[in-house]
Every structure is written in structure tokens, then in C-alpha cells.
């Protein structure tokens, strides 16, 4: 039986900093849950995850997640949760009982929207029919499957724990378990990849008829084996050909690009990630998870948990589990809003800027005028949207909203041509990518 996901009255503690006290419409709220383990560490990946051998000792971790949530519950206010994203690491290493316990605990603490989206990330090498069925039963209604490629040689070069057959098998298992909303992660720009093999990957993915596809360019991240011993990656010209060709195939198959890396059928955009890009609020629990919460007009705080799972576990449920917090200043708010919103192909209304930041839209006038004079944004003054030209040079466009100099390496991940930017935590400008992958 599928869990009852209908909305119920809020059970969260009364809000001291109620979003209801904010002028305008309520800011949507999501919840990110981090699972910090993988079967094996992939040599390109710098997400916050540790390899585990054998069964995971999940019970203490799941038990710690709920007191960790309690810590920030008062910041949720009376808002219902619109989305939950269980990401990692590899959440599909967890048995159904773990996800059931987690979601039951969240449900006891927070009201849920009637149409809440609950995503869980799965690695095909861990796909298991009983797990998938139990996730669905526990209330998960969207799976995000990390396929990366259908080419056996590429999967081996990427250090993946699965081959192409398991990738296809995972999708079939997910469908059989009742999932009608699937995302597939595909990477391009793989070692020695040529356009023909990259497009074969896209066609294979389309053959599985996903509702959503995330198309990430492989990036070499600091402190990874790929950085220490870089593989031969395609040059910019080849990358451009791969990306343009891939996007064309996706669009022709009905998966429209709505964000730098994200493509979806109509109505199947990822609600959780959209909320990041539309500068909504989110709680973040578990090792290294990040949260963004609006405390009042023009008062937005980012907070993040300790990264190391053992240290997190030892302190969960106490303020010591917080590794840091930062109140955004006016210039941070403008920049971070632009950084996120401009990733969306259709941008956002200027009114959303006021609703989400609590700042007057007049503040955007100067950077927007500059951007317009360079043809980087649409001429419509009521809308914040990159022009086709601006979308190709998103780094330059977003830099116009920066007050002062960009931190070193800051905008690197943002270029529209650098689709792997989709991996960095939406909402954060330039920190490590170990957080809240979408």
C-alpha cells in the first residue's frame, strides 16, 4: 500500500520567525536529506560520501536525522513541505525500513502539501526490487537514477559499480515498483568521448522514456583521483558539438531544457530543484547538508551541518551539529538570487525577486541595464531571463550582479556550456560541491 500523503495539520513547533509574517505569498519549503555513503567512491566525484563495505549501520544515522530536523523545525513556520529530496552519496543503499522510518518521522513533524514530491537517488549498481517497492510504499514518488553512460568501457573508466545492463535493469525495476516519475543522470564529455558515442548514450536514455533527464558535463573536481591523474577529455569544440547535439535530441523527444542541465517532459520538472533555483527555502539534514531559510524581509540565513558522518552523528540534535551559518547581506541576496534564477531557461519575474528577497526590484536596475546593453538578457523589464546569447555566457551575465570581485574559481561552474554546474548546490554560489546535489 502506498503511504497516505495527503496534507494534514502542521505538527511543527509554532514558528518564532514565521514565514507568515512575511509580506506577500508564503515562500515554498523543501527538505534535503543527505545520505553519506556509497558502495565505492567514483574517481571523479567530490560529493560528501564515504565508501562502505558490507551492510550499512543505518539505524543510528536515521535515528539522528530526526532530532537533527527538530533543531530547525521552528524555522519552517506553518508552511507545508512541498518536496523532500533524499540525496547522497547513495541513498539506494538503504533498506525500505530506513526510508519508511525517516519519512514517518518527518511526517510527524511537518505538514506536507497534498502533491508533495519525494525523490530518492539510486545507483543502478544497488538497484533492488524489494528496496524499490518498499521506497514507493514508504511514500517516495520519484527516483533519480545515476546512469552516467550506457557504454561499458566508459562506465569502467568512470569507476562505476555497474554496467549498461544494470542501468537498464534499474529503470525496469523502478517502473515495475510503480514509479511513474523517473530522472536519469547522464554525463557527457567523458574520457575520449566523441560526438557519435555521446549521442548514442542520449538515444539509449531516451529509449527508456524517462520523465526527466539531467545532462551533466563531466568536470574534474579538486581533490579527486581524476584531478591527480586527469583522463583525456574532449576539447571545447567536441564538447560543444556533443552538448548541442544531445540537447537537440532531448528536445525532439519532448524533454525540454528548463535549466542549465535539466530537461523534462511538460509538468515533470523537478519541484525540489526548481525551488532552489526560484530562491525558495529548504531545510537540510544529515552530514554536510545545507539549508536556506527566510527569517523575515531581507533576512535570509544559510546554515550547514558537519560534513564528517561520525562527527555529525556524535552531535546530531544539538546545535554543535551545525558547522556554520551565514546571514546574507543585501548584495549577497541580489547576487545569489540572480545566480539561481538565471539558470532557468525561462528566468523568473522581477516580482519574484521582491517576494523572495524582500528587496525592492529597483536594486536590479543597474546590472540589468548593463546586461541589456550587452544583449545578455531579454529586453522585457518585468522579467529576469537570459537571452540565448546570455545563456551561452552565463558566467559573464551573473558576474554583473556581483558587488565586488568574484571569489577565485567562483563562477567557473556556472557557464551554460558547463552543464555539470547543475551538480553544485543550487543556491550556493561557490562552495564545495559536496552539498545538496540536485
Ligand X SMILES: C[S@@+](CC[C@H](N)C(=O)[O-])C[C@H]1O[C@@H](n2cnc3c(N)ncnc32)[C@H](O)[C@@H]1O
Binding site for ligand X (CB under 6 A): 38, 44-45, 47, 87-88, 90, 121, 123, 146, 148, 185, 187, 216, 218-219, 221, 420, 423, 437
Spatial separation of the C-alpha atoms in residues 330 and 260, rounded to whole Å: 26
Rounded to a whole number of angstroms, the minimum distance from the CB of residue 292 to ligand X is 20
* Site stretch for ligand SF4 (CB under 6 A), options 64-72, 85-93, 106-114, 377-385: 85-93
* Site stretch for ligand SF4 (CB under 6 A), options 83-91, 135-143, 355-363, 373-381: 83-91
Q: How many residues bind ligand SF4 (CB under 6 A)?
A: 11
Phi, then psi, of 266 in degrees rounded to 5: -55, 135
Binding-residue pattern over the window 118 to 137 for ligand SF4, x denoting contact by CB under 6 A: -----x--------------
Rounded to a whole number of angstroms, the minimum distance from the CB of residue 170 to ligand X is 9
- Is the Cβ–Cβ distance between 62 and 6 less than 8 Å? no
Rounded to a whole number of angstroms, the minimum distance from the CB of residue 65 to ligand SF4 is 18
Residues 6 or more apart in contact with residue 361 via CB below 8 angstroms? 350, 351, 353, 354
* Site stretch for ligand SF4 (CB under 6 A), options 39-47, 100-108, 326-334, 362-370: 39-47
Pairing, β 262-264 against β 212-217:
antiparallel
Spatial separation of the C-alpha atoms in residues 347 and 370, rounded to whole Å: 17
Comparing CB distances to ligand X, the nearer of 216 and 353 is 216
Neighbours of 430 (CB within 10 A): 16
Rounded to a whole number of angstroms, the minimum distance from the CB of residue 251 to ligand SF4 is 26
Phi, then psi, of 332 in degrees rounded to 5: -60, -45
Comparing CB distances to ligand X, the nearer of 371 and 420 is 420
Closest residue to ligand X: CB criterion = 146
Spatial separation of the C-alpha atoms in residues 72 and 303, rounded to whole Å: 10
Pairing, β 29-35 against β 81-88:
parallel
Where does 344-385 have alpha helices with state H? 350-357, 365-373
Rounded to a whole number of angstroms, the minimum distance from the CB of residue 203 to ligand X is 18
Rounded to a whole number of angstroms, the minimum distance from the CB of residue 252 to ligand SF4 is 28
Query: Is 49 one of the binding residues for ligand SF4 (CB under 6 A)?
Result: yes
Neighbours of 336 (CB within 10 A): 22
Residue closest to 208 by CA, chosen among 168, 254, 263, 160: 168
Spatial separation of the C-alpha atoms in residues 155 and 147, rounded to whole Å: 9
Residues 6 or more apart in contact with residue 326 via CB below 8 angstroms? 301, 302, 303
Rounded to a whole number of angstroms, the minimum distance from the CB of residue 317 to ligand X is 25
Comparing CB distances to ligand SF4, the nearer of 105 and 169 is 169
Spatial separation of the C-alpha atoms in residues 120 and 238, rounded to whole Å: 33
Residue closest to 179 by CA, chosen among 215, 146, 210: 210
Query: Is 90 one of the binding residues for ligand SF4 (CB under 6 A)?
Result: yes
* Site stretch for ligand SF4 (CB under 6 A), options 38-46, 231-239, 266-274, 371-379: 38-46
**Residue 147 DSSP SS3:** strand
Spatial separation of the C-alpha atoms in residues 46 and 224, rounded to whole Å: 6
Comparing CB distances to ligand SF4, the nearer of 42 and 398 is 42
Q: Which helix (H) or strand (E) holds 362?
A: none
Strand order in the sheet with 322-327: 256-257, 262-264, 212-217, 182-188, 142-148, 112-122, 81-88, 29-35, 281-285, 290-296, 299-305, 322-327
Query: Is 146 one of the binding residues for ligand SF4 (CB under 6 A)?
Result: yes
43 binds, among ligand X, ligand SF4, none (CB under 5 to 8 A by kind): none
Comparing CB distances to ligand SF4, the nearer of 41 and 175 is 41
Comparing CB distances to ligand X, the nearer of 90 and 294 is 90
Query: Is 42 one of the binding residues for ligand SF4 (CB under 6 A)?
Result: yes
184 binds, among ligand X, ligand SF4, none (CB under 5 to 8 A by kind): none
Spatial separation of the C-alpha atoms in residues 204 and 191, rounded to whole Å: 19
Q: Which helix (H) or strand (E) holds 201?
A: helix 195-207
41 binds, among ligand SF4, ligand X, none (CB under 5 to 8 A by kind): ligand SF4
Q: Which of 30, 89, 139, 234 touches ligand SF4 (CB under 6 A)?
A: 89
* Site stretch for ligand SF4 (CB under 6 A), options 34-42, 94-102, 104-112, 361-369: 34-42
Q: Which residues bind ligand SF4 (CB under 6 A)?
A: 38, 41-42, 45, 47, 49, 88-90, 123, 146
Amino acid at each position: 500500500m502506498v503511504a497516505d500523503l495527503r496534507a494534514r495539520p502542521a505538527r511543527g513547533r509554532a514558528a518564532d520567525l514565521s514565514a507568515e509574517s512575511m509580506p506577500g505569498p508564503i515562500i515554498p519549503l523543501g527538505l534535503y536529506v543527505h545520505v553519506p555513503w556509497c558502495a565505492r567512491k567514483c574517481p571523479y566525484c567530490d560529493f560528501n560520501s564515504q565508501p562502505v563495505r558490507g551492510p550499512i549501520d543505518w539505524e543510528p544515522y536515521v535515528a539522528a536525522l530526526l532530532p537533527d530536523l527538530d533543531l530547525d523545525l521552528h524555522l519552517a513556520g506553518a508552511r507545508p513541505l512541498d518536496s523532500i529530496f533524499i540525496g547522497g552519496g547513495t541513498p539506494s543503499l538503504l533498506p525500505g525500513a530506513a526510508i519508511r522510518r525517516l519519512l514517518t518521522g518527518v511526517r510527524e513533524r511537518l505538514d506536507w502539501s497534498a502533491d508533495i514530491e519525494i525523490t530518492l537517488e539510486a545507483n543502478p549498481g544497488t538497484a533492488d526490487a524489494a528496496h524499490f517497492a518498499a521506497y514507493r510504499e514508504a511514500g517516495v514518488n520519484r527516483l533519480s537514477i545515476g546512469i552516467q553512460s550506457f557504454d561499458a568501457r566508459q562506465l569502467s573508466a568512470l569507476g562505476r559499480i555497474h554496467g549498461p545492463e544494470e542501468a537498464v535493469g534499474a529503470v525496469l525495476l523502478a517502473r515495475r515498483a510503480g514509479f511513474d516519475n523517473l530522472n536519469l543522470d547522464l554525463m557527457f564529455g567523458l574520457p575520449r568521448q566523441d560526438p557519435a558515442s555521446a549521442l548514442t548514450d542520449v538515444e539509449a536514455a531516451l529509449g527508456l522514456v524517462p520523465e526527466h533527464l539531467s545532462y551533466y558535463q563531466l568536470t574534474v573536481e579538486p581533490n579527486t583521483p581524476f584531478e591527480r591523474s586527469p583522463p583525456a577529455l574532449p576539447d571545447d569544440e567536441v564538447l560543444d558539438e556533443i552538448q548541442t547535439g544531445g540537447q537537440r535530441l532531448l528536445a525532439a523527444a519532448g524533454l525540454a531544457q528548463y535549466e542549465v542541465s535539466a530537461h523534462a517532459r511538460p509538468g515533470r520538472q523537478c519541484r525540489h530543484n526548481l525551488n532552489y533555483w526560484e530562491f525558495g527555502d529548504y531545510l537540510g539534514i544529515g552530514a554536510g547538508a545545507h539549508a536556506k531559510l527566510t527569517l523575515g524581509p531581507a533576512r535570509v540565513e544559510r546554515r550547514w551541518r558537519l560534513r564528517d558522518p561520525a562527527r555529525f552523528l556524535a552531535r546530531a540534535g544539538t546545535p554543535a551539529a551545525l558547522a556554520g551559518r551565514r546571514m546574507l547581506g543585501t548584495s549577497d541576496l541580489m547576487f545569489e538570487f540572480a545566480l539561481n534564477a538565471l539558470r532557468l531557461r525561462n528566468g523568473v519575474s522581477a516580482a519574484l525577486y521582491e517576494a523572495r528577497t524582500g528587496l525592492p526590484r529597483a536594486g536590479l536596475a543597474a546590472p540589468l541595464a548593463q546586461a541589456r546593453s550587452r544583449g545578455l538578457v531579454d529586453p522585457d523589464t518585468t522579467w529576469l531571463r537570459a537571452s540565448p546569447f546570455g545563456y551561452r555566457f552565463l558566467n559573464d551575465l551573473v558576474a554583473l550582479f556581483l558587488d565586488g570581485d568574484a571569489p577565485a574559481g567562483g563562477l567557473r561552474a556556472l557557464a551554460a556550456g558547463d552543464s555539470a554546474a547543475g551538480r553544485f548546490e543550487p543556491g550556493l554560489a561557490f562552495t564545495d560541491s559536496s552539498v545538496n546535489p540536485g
